[in-house]
Structure 1
Amino acid sequence: MPDIHDRIRTEVMDKERALWTALTSAEPASEIIKLSNSYANFLWPKKEVLTFQDEKKFRRALKAPFHRFDTYELQDVRIIIMGLMAATVTCTVDATRDNKRWRATSHTTWSQASDGEWRICTHQETRI
């Protein structure tokens, strides 16, 4: 049986992939809201900090072509476990759209809710 830290790494990495799958879809807002705590903060390049306080504004900010990629790959993934109910994922994202390359560093902090689900607290991307 894997130890608790291995299980946390696996669960958080599955959630991080779900986040990036949502981010690269045509309409990511609904899925990102499901993956997040109600107080989550999002910091995307060339956008102000987004929260769910104004859900309409959040949804508008994520309208296509926001992050709609043909392909993406998470590289140099590092998962830091901060406790049994918190972890952070840092990585480099390499994506393409219409044969144009998009690269960024990414950081997502996850916390485990009372229902056992891992949810986003913060997510930040920095173009490189």
Structure 2
Amino acid sequence: MPSMHDRIREDLLNKERALWTALTSADPAPAVQKLCNPEANLMFPQMPILTLENESDFHNALKPPFHRFDGYQLDEVRIIIIDLMAGAVTYKVRAVRGQKEYRATGSTTWGQGSDGEWTIFSHSETLL
């Protein structure tokens, strides 16, 4: 039987993949919003810090074709368990669309609510 920490690591990796699947989709805002804690901060290269305080600003910032890629790959993934209800995922990401390539480092801090759902508290990407 996997340990509690192993289950948390698996949950966080699955959530991070869900985030990137949403970020690279045709219309990322609705799916990303569902993954976020109401207090979340999202920091993308060359953009202001996004929050959920103003929903229309959030949706405008993530409107298509934001991060629209054909595929992505997470490398050098490290999952840090902060406690049983919080963790961070750090990695390098490579995403492609046709001949265009996006390379960055990423970090997402996740917290688990009383309902058992993991939500994003902070996400950031830095171009390589």
Unpaired segments of 5 or more residues in structure 2? none
Match of 1:108 in 2: 108
Q: 1:43 matched to which residue of 2? A: 43
The AA in structure 2 aligned to 1:44 is F
Question: Which secondary structure state, in structure 2, belongs to the residue aligned with residue 69 of structure 1?
Answer: coil
Amino acid at match of 1:78: R
Deviations 1:14-43 (A, max 9, x none): 100000000000111111111110110000
Whether 2:87 is the aligned partner of 1:87: answer yes
Provide TM-score, normalisation by structure 2: 0.98
- Give the 3-state SS of the residue equivalent to 1:53 in structure 2: coil
The aligned length equals 128
- CA–CA distance in 2 between the matches of 1:118 and 1:37? 9
**1:68 and 2:68 are equivalent in the alignment:** yes
**Identity over the aligned pairs, expressed in percent?**
56
| In 2: Cα distance, 1:97 partner to 1:63 partner | 17
- Corresponding residue of 1:13: 13
TM-score, normalised relative to structure 1: 0.98
Structure 1: gaps of 5 or more residues: none
